[in-house]
Structure 1
Amino acid sequence: MEYVEVTYADTYVPSYELQQPRLPRQNPGAVAAADTVGSDARGGARGDGRGGGRGGGHGGRAEARRAARHRKEAERPEAMRRLVPQALVVAFLVGGTSAFVASDKAVKLSVDGVPRTMHTFADDVTELLEDQGVEVGAHDLVAPAPGTELASGDEVVVRYGRPVTLTLDGRRHRVWTTARTVEGALRQLGVRAEGAYLSAARSMAIGRAGLALDVRTERTVTFMADGRERTIRTNAATVGAALAEAGISLRGQDTTSVPAESFPRDGQRVTVMRIRGAKEVREEPIPFEVIKTEDASLFKGTEVVVQPGEVGSRRVTYFVRTVNGVRQKPRKVAEEIAREPVARRVMVGTKEKPAFVAGADGLNWNGLAQCESGGRPGAVDPTGNYGGLYQFDTRTWQSLGGSGRPQEASAEEQTYRAKKLYVQRGASPWPHCGDRLRG
């Protein structure tokens, strides 16, 4: 604010300096004569009486004094009229100056560490900041708080908020700080930085735009490797880096119980797994398929194998590994067919069975079967020429209408064919056991 000095003309004149009216100039001789006469008269009066002396000698001077007094009284209101406006002007100037001095305050304003001292007429902190063009937001610090009344000698501090993308021990946060350096921000945010890794120097300034800061504090990590336990303090970013700090190396297929690229947590225990592996080739069987075909020439319940099945084989390659000396379940990595299997083909009878064979029913066929084969339909003699319950040879079996070999037919069909043979030739086909038919 600019001040202009105004000078007022002083028009006041004290009443005692007003010019006295002048009496008519007299002859000095006459004045002296008059004084002499007066003196004589005063002397004579004292002798003759007071009244006569006062009336004759002093009448002229008294009258002059009275005339002067009347003139002074007439001039006094005019002097007062001139004095009152001047007094009012003086009083206004004195009062205005006092109010002006009372409103003016000397304060110190520090904005983001830059101080300046100024004079202001602002009543409170908010008005001061508005006058100085200082804009503040929700993340900025103002002390004293906006709205606080100001007094001369006060100090107002403004610190701007700065956004910080803080990655602390692998976890990202979005925070605000009014600190102007990395070290101040760490202290303000309560981050324990002793022994920590910092992506920026502690003394680095933080601009209004903020910055990204990566902080990895020291953590305790324990490694179990090769039968030994090792505990270290580290601020490494990955388990793999901490492993290297511990002086443990991985070879070949070695790995760790947690991913090597994961962030090591405080108090974490990590096991190093020594892996050794080799390939194994095994030959495994391939089962054959059974194909059944219906045959109307065979009695129901009769199955005749027309093509025996053959088991195939394949070569399977497995990867077998050991972890810290313990063998793991093999893992198949490849296979190839060494020999294809051959399907087994079987004819299945659908013909209805005969009810009886005249001349052969009523005989002890069960006894004959027990004697010939022990009652087993699939029995074959040591030579391989005879088979079934009744030990047919293949030629005789087929001449009786049977298909394939007798031991492949059902027990019912074998008994039926044996009855037909008995009707044709009696018990002679069974020279050693034929008499069981009657027993």
Structure 2
Amino acid sequence: MSNSPYETYGPAVGPAPAHDAYGALGAPEAPGAPSGPGAPDGFSYDLHNAPTVAFGTGGIGGTGGAYGAQAAPGAYGDTYRPAYEPQILAPTLVEPALPRQTGSATTQGARDTGARAGGGRRASRRRKTRYAERSDSAVRRLLPQALVVAFLAGGTTAFVAKDKAVELSVDGTPRTLHTFADDVTELLAEEGVRVGAHDVVAPAPGTALASGDEVAVHHGRPVRLTIDGERREVWTTARTVDGALRQLGVRAEGAYLSTSRSQSIGRAGLALDVRTERALTIMADGRARTIRTNAATVGRALEEAGVTLHGQDTTSVPPGSFPRDGQTVTVLRITGAREVREEAIPFDVRRTDDPSLFKGTEVVERPGRPGLRQVTYFLRSVNGVKQKPRREKSEVVRGPRTQLVKVGTKPRPKNVHGADRLNWQGLAACESGGRPGAVDPSGTYGGLYQFDARTWHSLGGSGRPQDAPAEEQTYRAKKLYMRRGASPWPHCGLRLHG
């Protein structure tokens, strides 16, 4: 840019060339020809590559031109913008060159001189109008595109901000995911991972997620566990038997396991039998043995201890029972034999009323006879000590015979004519001391009046006289007195009249 306040392009002196499309001086040029300072004989201005230019309207001597206008002081800032500012690019618009006029040189020169002055002003106005229209149209066309670009840029930022890279591990199988889930619950739902009451999720469901987080899901597995004979169902998140034992706190050292420790546990679970090692004390043949065993029965533990049962030998606890830790089992050595014994079977007594006999009188019509049976007993000794015989069976050899007894129902006479006024109380005191059950030392005589059995029965008595009531004994004594007088009582008979 020169120091002159006027900017011109192209040669200032010489034949006047025809006007180009923009009224500038120079030869007609095809679109895309070189332009700018130093271009040969003229130029065409490419709006795509040129900085934005504000065209002035004031020219020299009233002549306006696109590039020959007079610049007011300080107008350079409005006329040219720095190259580093953002540019709004428009398509290159180049008008076709006007055809050259033919004629004499003088006429043509005069025409060119007049056209330069008038054409310059018209070209300046046309360029100002066209450029203003083109700039306004470009702004209106690019503004929606800029808004869309800004919107997409903001959406992309939000999209990137919501996306999270997390690691999800399900039963030990990890995978890295990109997710928009806000928390663990949404992540599991998004991935179709169902969580039950016995499953473990870390971190807990509902925990907020951030990029780089790790989420682990361990599904619960049912285990039908039998430990030392006690059965129960438990849940574990371990995937192998060994892991389940550690998780459940089961002591597995020296224990019997129904399956391998490396056996995997599926979601359906499995059945596991565990017998831990226990201390057992065995007392046998006067000797104590303490062993450690995981046997399932006491009998199996005896075999491990080298103790054998013979014949009727047994143990203090059932051999098929489960041995407990610290339990003492005693072996019982049993020997014995069977013995048959005869035993009497008591007979029954059947009584019938007899109206011919006085009340209180019983007569045995048929004496009874005991029966006989044979009883087998098992006699045994335990560790050398004899036990109480055990009855095994019984067989009746002879059945008992029932005794028949007649019981008198006839009322007793209160008086015996001719003997009622005698001193029977004095006679009884002399003979027996007044005791109805008295019996002499020889056992022959009994009762108040010391009857013998033969005399008693002849008077209608039954049984023994000493067993009869006192009134009956007195009655029988009166009957005897009426038959024989006081002679049956030679020493005490005198008391009857005294």
TM-score for the superposition, normalised by structure 2:
0.63
Structure 2 segments unaligned to the other structure (5+ residues): 1-19, 28-59, 72-78, 80-123
Q: 1:129 aligns with which of 188, 193, 198?
A: 188
User: Which residue in the other structure is 1:6 paired with?
Assistant: none
Secondary structure at the aligned position of 1:118 is classed as strand
Q: 1:352 aligns with which of 395, 404, 412?
A: 412
Q: State whether structure 2 residue 305 is matched by structure 1 residue 256.
A: no
Whole-angstrom CA distance in 2 between matches of 1:318 and 1:377: 45
Q: State whether structure 2 residue 68 is matched by structure 1 residue 65.
A: yes
Cα distance, 1:118 vs. partner? 3.3
Cα distance, 1:352 vs. partner? 1.0
Cα distance, 1:438 vs. partner? 1.9
Secondary structure at the aligned position of 1:109 is classed as strand
Whole-angstrom CA distance in 2 between matches of 1:424 and 1:270: 85
| Cα distance per residue 1:58-99 (max 9 Å; x no partner) | 879996521896667652673365254354455445444433
Q: Counterpart of 2:428 in structure 1: which amino acid?
A: N
Cα distance, 1:163 vs. partner? 1.7
Q: 1:143 aligns with which of 192, 202, 223?
A: 202
Whole-angstrom CA distance in 2 between matches of 1:184 and 1:291: 83
Secondary structure at the aligned position of 1:208 is classed as coil
Paired-residue identity, %: 58
Looking at secondary structure, tell me which structure has more helix per residue.
1
Q: 1:102 aligns with which of 148, 161, 164?
A: 161
8 Å contact from structure 1 (residues 302, 408) kept in 2: no
Cα distance, 1:417 vs. partner? 4.9
User: Which residue in the other structure is 1:225 paired with?
Assistant: 284
Secondary structure at the aligned position of 2:69 is classed as helix
8 Å contact from structure 1 (residues 406, 414) kept in 2: no
Which range is displaced more, 235-244 or 90-99?
90-99
Whole-angstrom CA distance in 2 between matches of 1:225 and 1:146: 62
Q: Counterpart of 1:163 in structure 2: which amino acid?
A: P
Whole-angstrom CA distance in 1 between matches of 2:441 and 2:128: 177
Cα distance, 1:203 vs. partner? 0.8
Sort the Cα spacing of 1:417 and 1:293 in 2 relative to 1 into closer, same or farther, 3 A.
same
User: Which residue in the other structure is 2:43 paired with?
Assistant: none
| Cα distance per residue 1:247-276 (max 9 Å; x no partner) | 333333333333333333323333333333
User: Which residue in the other structure is 1:268 paired with?
Assistant: 327
Sort the Cα spacing of 1:160 and 1:340 in 2 relative to 1 into closer, same or farther, 3 A.
closer
Sort the Cα spacing of 1:103 and 1:20 in 2 relative to 1 into closer, same or farther, 3 A.
farther
Q: State whether structure 2 residue 135 is matched by structure 1 residue 79.
A: yes
Secondary structure at the aligned position of 1:66 is classed as coil
8 Å contact from structure 2 (residues 437, 446) kept in 1: no
Sort the Cα spacing of 1:298 and 1:128 in 2 relative to 1 into closer, same or farther, 3 A.
closer
8 Å contact from structure 1 (residues 380, 391) kept in 2: no
Structure 1 segments unaligned to the other structure (5+ residues): 1-18, 27-57
Sort the Cα spacing of 1:120 and 1:76 in 2 relative to 1 into closer, same or farther, 3 A.
farther
8 Å contact from structure 1 (residues 319, 333) kept in 2: yes
User: Which residue in the other structure is 1:332 paired with?
Assistant: 391
Sort the Cα spacing of 1:198 and 1:66 in 2 relative to 1 into closer, same or farther, 3 A.
same
| Cα distance per residue 1:222-281 (max 9 Å; x no partner) | 333333333222222233333333333333333333333333332333333333343222
Whole-angstrom CA distance in 1 between matches of 2:380 and 2:374: 19
| Cα distance per residue 1:128-152 (max 9 Å; x no partner) | 3333332222222222333333333
Sort the Cα spacing of 1:417 and 1:182 in 2 relative to 1 into closer, same or farther, 3 A.
closer
Cα distance, 1:368 vs. partner? 7.2
Whole-angstrom CA distance in 1 between matches of 2:353 and 2:159: 127
8 Å contact from structure 2 (residues 314, 333) kept in 1: yes
Whole-angstrom CA distance in 2 between matches of 1:392 and 1:62: 192
Q: State whether structure 2 residue 248 is matched by structure 1 residue 189.
A: yes
Whole-angstrom CA distance in 1 between matches of 2:378 and 2:221: 58
Secondary structure at the aligned position of 1:188 is classed as helix
Whole-angstrom CA distance in 2 between matches of 1:80 and 1:60: 28
In the TM superposition, what are the counterparts of 1:199-348 in structure 2 within 5 Å? Answer: 199-348=258-407
Q: 2:226 aligns with which of 167, 179, 190?
A: 167
Sort the Cα spacing of 1:138 and 1:60 in 2 relative to 1 into closer, same or farther, 3 A.
same
Cα distance, 1:413 vs. partner? 5.2
8 Å contact from structure 2 (residues 459, 479) kept in 1: no
| Cα distance per residue 1:378-412 (max 9 Å; x no partner) | 76979x8x988556684x777x6536788588466
8 Å contact from structure 2 (residues 373, 394) kept in 1: yes
Q: State whether structure 2 residue 84 is matched by structure 1 residue 25.
A: no
Sort the Cα spacing of 1:76 and 1:436 in 2 relative to 1 into closer, same or farther, 3 A.
same
